[in-house]
Amino acid sequence: MKSEKLKVRISRLKLFFIFHFSLLTLFGCEEKIKPSIVNQVETNLPSQESWDSEVTISDSGRIRAVIYAGYIASFTKEQFTQLDSGVVVDLFDRKGLHSSKLTARKGKVFESSKDLEAEGRVVLISDSGTIVRTEKLFWNNNLQKVHSTEFVTITSPTEELQGFGFESDEELKNYKIFRVAGKAKVKDE
């Protein structure tokens, strides 16, 4: 009798395991958590990208600027071009003559106005030898002027000025510096 009870118990245990294994097999494979579906919305993706490229901006057949950047991304909808990974810009005057060279870490060109914004260790050197150093600089294409609201250092053959904010023609011949602190050489007559 003991062996029969033992056989019944073993059979019941077998049935118990088979039943539970079947349930696990049937319902365990059902996907309980659906994977998240990422609906990719246009989150500021560029319409065009290029690396180690050069862009020429012209007006009425005259070159106004030649821009080199390690990375360029064009955002058509937002109407600007992002410049990154080292920016070098050669600026030309209204006659098409080279006037100055700008270097920066990154920048932006606004499509409608062709204005330029430069950021990060900005250095602007005119062909006459005047040097402007700042962290952020803007070039207004229509007015042919550069300006900044940041701390700026201007070094020319005759003076060294520092201050917050400045504006100038693109050749750096006629400039104003705001909140000035610096020194200048004065000629004795």
Per-residue pLDDT for the chain (189 aa), expressed as one digit of tens each?
Answer: 566 766 666 666 666 666 555 655 655 555 556 666 666 665 678 999 999 999 888 878 888 889 999 999 999 999 999 999 999 999 888 788 898 999 999 999 998 888 989 999 999 999 989 999 999 999 898 888 899 999 999 998 888 889 999 999 878 888 898 888 766 666 666
pLDDT for 60 equals: 82
pLDDT for 35 equals: 65
Cα separation, 158 vs 177, whole angstroms: 15
- DSSP for residue 77: T
DSSP string, 116-157: EEEEEEEEEEETTS-EEEEEEEEEETTTTEEEEEEEEEEE-S
The continuous run of DSSP H or E covering 18 comes out as helix 2-28
pLDDT, tens digit, for every residue of 80-98? 999 999 999 998 887 888 9
Task: Give the C-alpha distances (Å, rounded to integers) separating 133 from 38, 104, 139, 147, 175.
Answer: 45, 10, 14, 12, 14
pTM reported for the whole predicted model: 0.71
pLDDT for 149 equals: 94
Domain 48-184: CATH superfamily is Lipopolysaccharide (LPS) transport protein A like domain (2.60.450.10)
The answer to whether 118 touches 107, Cβ cutoff 8 Å, is yes
